[in-house]
């Protein structure tokens, strides 16, 4: 257990640090023109490490289990354990318990540490670039249902000034479309939206009425626009669910949020299944490559771990993409690959010779 934890911690932190530095190098052109302090850059790199730890833990767990137990097999330690009368699956129960603990840790990491660190990294980045936000405007037509039941179209939102431009409001009654309101802009003033330079088209009379301004309370606060640019890793499940609920009430559907919310639950579970898979592949005799098992060749164990990890990430990413596109229900897409790995790891674990 000591060897497993030491190997896993070294792999996880080492790989996370490497990926964090590579991510920083990829963004270095954004920082250098502003002549940042060395301390700010180091802190930025450190704040991105927890996110990579979260993503890399499953691979590190699998590689560590394969390495440690393949070495134990080569040194005949497993033979000694069996000769002493111990049953293997009973002997491995502390490792299964460790897998459960690592799963809980992964969930806590994703819900508490990663969002806080990601927000801190974003603040450091904005401070270096001396901007309040990493953007000046949010572009793209957006449709939503107003608080009064109207359908609202927003052409462009500028989050720094809290100004929406090219706003169209479709109002309905029991007979159908009642009127259409076109506003050149909508400004958030005194905790309410003020529409400016309006053209109001009446469907009943066919007349057009021009109006300089109108206070309209049918649109939610500017936060509903701003929060859409917040990255998922900067939000925990509670924040993500509340935001999704607010968007639904406003009539603004976001399929990506549905998928990401479900992925928050499914991803940490793979830590347990990767550990079971590592134990099964290193101690089992049913899986062979070129006539050799992972327990008989350390290189095969490492290569097998990398291949399995790659297959998991590719499959997981594929089904997330299908969920984002709506081809698969968003609540199901993140669970397909973890479920397949759970079944495979459980079957292989039960086949470990006693």
What are the chain's domains?
2-130+254-350 (no CATH), 147-219 (2.30.30)
Q: Residue 230: pLDDT band by 50, 70, 90 thresholds?
A: low
Above pLDDT 90, what percent of the chain?
29
Count of beta carbons in the 10 Å neighbourhood of residue 11? 19
pLDDT at 101: 95
Given a cut of 90, whether residue 97 has pLDDT beyond it is yes
How far apart CA 38 and CA 23 sit, in angstroms, is 16
Answer whether 193's CB lies under 8 Å from 169's CB: no
Q: Mind giving me the DSSP string for 104-124?
A: HHHHHIIIIIHHHHHHHHHHH
Answer whether 243's CB lies under 8 Å from 264's CB: no
Closest CA to 311 of 58, 28, 44, 21: 58
Answer whether 65's CB lies under 8 Å from 279's CB: yes
Q: Residue 105: pLDDT band by 50, 70, 90 thresholds?
A: very high
How far apart CA 253 and CA 255 sit, in angstroms, is 6
How far apart CA 164 and CA 193 sit, in angstroms, is 9
Q: Which position has the higher pLDDT, 99 or 224?
A: 99
How far apart CA 63 and CA 277 sit, in angstroms, is 10
Helix axes 38-74, 298-325, angle to 10 degrees: 130
Given a cut of 80, whether residue 182 has pLDDT beyond it is yes
Q: What is the mean pLDDT of residues 4-19?
A: 93
Q: 3-class SS at 36?
A: coil
**End-to-end CA, the chain:** 20
**Average predicted confidence (pLDDT) for the chain:** 82
How far apart CA 84 and CA 338 sit, in angstroms, is 36
pLDDT at 173: 86
| DSSP for residue 307 | H
pLDDT tens profile 264-315: 889 999 999 999 988 888 876 555 544 555 555 556 666 777 888 888 989 9
pLDDT at 350: 86
Q: For the sheet containing 163-173, what is the strand order? A: 138-145, 151-158, 163-173, 176-189, 192-202, 208-216
Answer whether 85's CB lies under 8 Å from 331's CB: no
């Amino acid at each position: 257990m000591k060897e497993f934890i030491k190997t896993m911690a070294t792999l996880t932190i080492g790989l996370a640090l490497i990926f964090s530095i590579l991510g920083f190098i990829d963004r270095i052109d954004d920082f250098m023109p502003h002549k940042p302090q060395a301390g700010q850059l180091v802190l930025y790199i450190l704040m991105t490490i927890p996110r990579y730890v979260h993503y890399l833990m499953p691979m590190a767990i699998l590689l560590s289990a394969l390495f440690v137990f393949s070495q134990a097999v080569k040194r005949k330690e497993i033979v000694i354990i069996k000769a002493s009368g111990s049953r293997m699956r009973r002997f491995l129960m502390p490792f299964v318990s460790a897998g459960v603990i690592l799963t809980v840790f992964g969930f806590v990491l994703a819900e508490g540490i990663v969002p806080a660190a990601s927000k801190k990294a974003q603040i450091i980045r904005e401070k270096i670039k001396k901007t309040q936000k990493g953007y000046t405007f949010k572009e793209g037509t957006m449709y939503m249902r107003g608080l009064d039941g109207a359908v609202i179209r927003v052409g462009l939102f500028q989050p720094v000034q809290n100004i929406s431009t090219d706003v169209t409001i479709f109002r309905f009654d029991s007979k159908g479309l009642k009127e259409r309101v076109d506003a050149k802009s909508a400004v958030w003033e005194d905790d309410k939206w003020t529409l400016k330079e309006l053209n109001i088209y009446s469907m009943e009379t066919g007349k057009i009425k021009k109006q300089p301004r109108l206070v309209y309370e049918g649109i939610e606060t500017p936060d509903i626009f701003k929060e859409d640019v917040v990255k998922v890793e900067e939000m925990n499940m509670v924040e993500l669910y509340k935001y999704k609920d607010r968007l639904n009430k406003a009539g603004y559907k976001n399929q990506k949020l549905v998928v990401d919310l479900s992925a928050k639950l499914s991803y940490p579970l793979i830590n347990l299944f990767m550990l079971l898979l590592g134990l099964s592949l290193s101690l089992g005799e049913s899986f062979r490559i070129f006539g050799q098992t992972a327990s008989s060749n350390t290189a095969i164990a490492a290569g097998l771990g990398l291949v399995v990890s790659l297959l998991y990430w590719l499959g997981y990413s594929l089904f997330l993409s299908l969920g984002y596109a709506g081809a698969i229900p968003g609540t199901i897409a993140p669970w397909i690959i973890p479920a397949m790995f759970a079944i495979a790891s459980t079957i292989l674990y039960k086949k470990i010779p006693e």
